[in-house]
Amino acid sequence: MTDTTLLGPWIRRFLVEYLVSERNLSRNTQHSYRDTLHLLLPFLACRTRKQIDQLAVVSLSSEIVKRFLQDLEATRGCGVKTRNQRLAAIHSLAHFIGQQSPEHLEWCGEIRRVPFKKSSHVQITYLEKPEIDALLATPDRSTALGRRDYAVLLFLYNTGARADEAAQLRISDLELASLSSRHQSLVRILGKGSKQRRCPLWSDTAKELSFLVSGRPAGERVFLNRLGQPLTRFGIHTLVERCVTQASDRTPSLTKKRISPHTIRHTTATHLLRAGVDINTIRAWLGHVSLATTNVYAEVDMEMKAKAIASCELKQTRTKKRWRENPGLMAFLRAL
């Protein structure tokens, strides 16, 4: 019989049963929770002077959790967002153990009372139209590698896909209409939490993707590296950074922004909003679960705010003071 006082068996059940079978969380979320515990367990063992396999559930006190979070910021240089993500994983573990083991309910409550740290509002970075045009113009499309780079950048801008979503894209996910067809080309994207969404493709995007996947099996990934292996999300990050560096020579404003594939995602949302696309449509386009997440883009566009304020501005009409224009009256007053 498994010892319910030990932390190890609970962690195994948490990662295998709860995250995968019960919650069906995305692969990235599972890895994030795993990485949190990979950092937490050695820290806990060091503080309690016990072997990791001998750690008890109650060994993980709220005070040690606070010290662990402080160590993440001080030693590893983690930001508030990362710190809160690690704490969310610990809260989730405590919740799971508390649900399954009533004798640990009090311990669960103590751990879950460790508060998240308030973070300052971070301004979303996006590219203006000339900047994204300069980025798209960077790859040398006369070469196979340059045409692939262009297809990746165009796909990211068209769909607002995350780097991992683009990396996981398979040829079977594409519904490409022929050039003579009136049908709309579409792509099926597998997003966070294994949620699928369909996104329309511009004709130029469909054309580039058609060239890229021509003659290849439907099960292959769409974007491959120079060795013919699937391009990873890290490879897509590197691709974007390389193109930004090259484009910065012609467009210096790019050097003032920290640009990643997610910046292109922000750019897509902002440009759709400026074009008058409904916020709910943008939410579905980006694959957001909550409309509140999409509403952030309505707050970042200062140009739209300025136009809105200007359209509502009240023009004060000044009434003419006719007595100042009456020379007879002024002469009369000076004569008094």
The separation between the first and the last C-alpha atoms of the chain, rounded to the nearest angstrom, is 113
Residue type, 172: S
Residue whose C-alpha is closest to residue 134's, from 257, 239, 252, 274: 252
Q: Which of 86, 104, 162, 271 is catalytic?
A: 162
Which one of 47, 237, 262, 274 is the catalytic residue? 262
Degrees to nearest 5, angle at CA 159 with 252 and 232: 80
**Strand partners for 297:** none
104 is catalytic: no
- Say how far apart CA 64 and CA 43 lie, in whole Å: 9
Secondary structure of residue 162 in the 3-state scheme:
coil
Active site residue 76: no
Q: Is 262 a catalytic residue?
A: yes
In the numeric block, which tokens belong to residue 326? 């009456």
Burial string for 13-50 (b: 16+ CB within 10 Å, else e) reads: bbbeebbeeeeebbeebbebbeebbebbbebbbebeee
DSSP-assigned letter for residue 197:
E
Whether residue 265 lies in the annotated active site: yes
Of 33, 126, 150, 297, catalytic: 297
Facing residues of 6 across strands?
56
Active-site hit among 192, 207, 257, 274 = 192
Catalytic residue among 86, 265, 266, 271: 265
Q: DSSP class of residue 325?
A: G
- 3-class secondary structure, 196: strand
Residue the block writes with tokens 């391009």: 231
* Residues forming the active site: 162, 192, 262, 265, 288, 297
